[in-house]
Amino acid sequence: MIEVKNLRKTFHLKSGDVTALDGVSFSIEDGTVYGIAGYSGAGKSSLVRCLNLLEIPDEGTITIGEYEGIEARGGEVYYQGKKMTARQQNQMRRGIGMIFQHFNLLERSTVFDNIAYPLKYTGRSREEIRRRVLELLDLVDLREKVDVFPSQLSGGQKQRVAIARALAANPKILLSDEATSALDPDATESILNLLRDLNRKLGITIVIITHEMAVIKTIADRMAVMEGGKIVEEGTVYDIFSDPQAPITRKFIASSSPLGKIDKLIAENSSLTQVKKGEILAKLIFQKDCVGEHILTTMAQRYGVNLNIILANVEYLHGNPLGGTIGILSGDAKSIEAGIRFLEENHVRTEVLKDGRVD
């Protein structure tokens, strides 16, 4: 369980104060993959750094793993009523794995020594460390690279080593700070698959920070969207993707969905988006329990509504359809209204983008 209450952090820079976290609260169930999205400067990096106390929050309460109710005030952290020493903080961090955008492997150590880093000087025997490292290398499928230096690895391989290193001490929680942002699409996919596998096989709770919605869509169960140091939206990935509320979330989702192109087309006043009198340009969004695309054909046939499709995209997220169709509906006013009602009954939400029915 990870639970954060009213977390605040302000950086005092020469150029002025920057509020990175402005009263953030949320909680993450054990064993879930939790995504935190936001543009750079939204505070997501500070948030994840506060979770393992790499950054000390100004104020707030953190529960992470077995550490319940760590309290921050006045630049210090308190656990069970006592100030946490540097040693206690280090001890706590050992129970939380973390991976980074730029991997941060030791350049002068082999893959073996990098993964062994968190195991050394902890009282484990040499043989014990060796067994664990080889086991981890099997887990990330890099056994043959055991004696190689990081400079000889690809980005995806480096991140695999970093994951193995982060998991070496058997943490129950893994924090991922933009871990796929420096990788090509193929490597990104393989890293995300690996993380998903680790979550399923080992039951590790994974917190993913990213500016790429596609990453969250691929592996997260729940998500939060941050803006200006605050969480502006929180919920299951499906709910947020199918029905985003906050403007920033809509913008984010539009940028990751092929349907998002419509905003650009409308802004350019493209000929595709011109509506004649009585027509409407609408976004038809498929929601949970919606039967599928043939609803549109049924609507057209039953109500005599013509649908001129401009964009269409459907994908499945956790088994539910996500996406929809954007097109121009034409016909007489009554049939359009009846058609829309029919769609709503069948779990297709209509969002009117341009309305030719008024004047």
Partner 1 sequence: MEEWIKAVAPYLYTYRTKFFAACSATFQMFWKAGLIAFAIGLFFGVILVITKKGGIRQNIFVYQITNLVINVFRSIPFIILLIFLIPLTRAVVGTAINVKGAILPLVFGTVPFYTRQVEVALSGVEEGKIEAARSMGSGTFGLIFRVYLHEALPDLIRVTTVTAISLIGLTTMAGAVGAGGIGSFAINYGQNQNHSDIVNVCVIVLLAVTFVLQSLGNMLAKRTTNRSLFQIRRGENNVPNSAD
- Radius of gyration of the chain from Cα atoms? 25
**Residue 252 interacts with partner 1 (CB under 8 A): yes or no:** no
Say whether 342 sits in a helix, a strand or coil.
helix
d(CA 167, CA 268): 49
Among 147, 186, 345, 359, binds partner 1 (CB under 8 A): 147
**Residue 342 interacts with partner 1 (CB under 8 A): yes or no:** no
Closest approach, Cβ 158 to partner 1, in A, equals 12
Residue 303: closest CA among 344, 358, 359, 273: 344
**Residues paired with residue 349 on neighbouring β-strands, in sequence order:** 285
> In this structure, what token pair is assigned to residue 108?
């002068």
According to CB under 8 A, which residues from 83 to 142 bind partner 1?
Answer: 86-87, 90-94, 96-98, 100, 102, 104-110, 112-113, 117-118, 121, 130, 133-134
How many chain residues touch partner 1 (CB under 8 A)?
A: 41
d(CA 171, CA 189): 23
Closer Cβ to partner 1, 64 or 253, answer by number: 64
According to CB under 8 A, which residues from 4 to 63 bind partner 1?
Answer: 52, 54
Closer Cβ to partner 1, 11 or 332, answer by number: 11
Closer Cβ to partner 1, 103 or 303, answer by number: 103
End-to-end, the C-alpha distance of the chain in Å comes to: 56
**Residue 251 interacts with partner 1 (CB under 8 A): yes or no:** no
> Please, are residues 204 and 198 in contact by the beta-carbon 8 Å criterion?
yes
Among 149, 235, 254, 288, binds partner 1 (CB under 8 A): 149
**Residue 79 interacts with partner 1 (CB under 8 A): yes or no:** no
d(CA 277, CA 252): 32
**Residue 172 interacts with partner 1 (CB under 8 A): yes or no:** no
Angstrom distances, CA of residue 18 to CA of 10, 21, 49, 86? 6, 9, 16, 26
Q: Which residues form the interface with partner 1 (CB under 8 A)?
A: 52, 54, 86-87, 90-94, 96-98, 100, 102, 104-110, 112-113, 117-118, 121, 130, 133-134, 144, 146-151, 162, 165-166, 169, 175
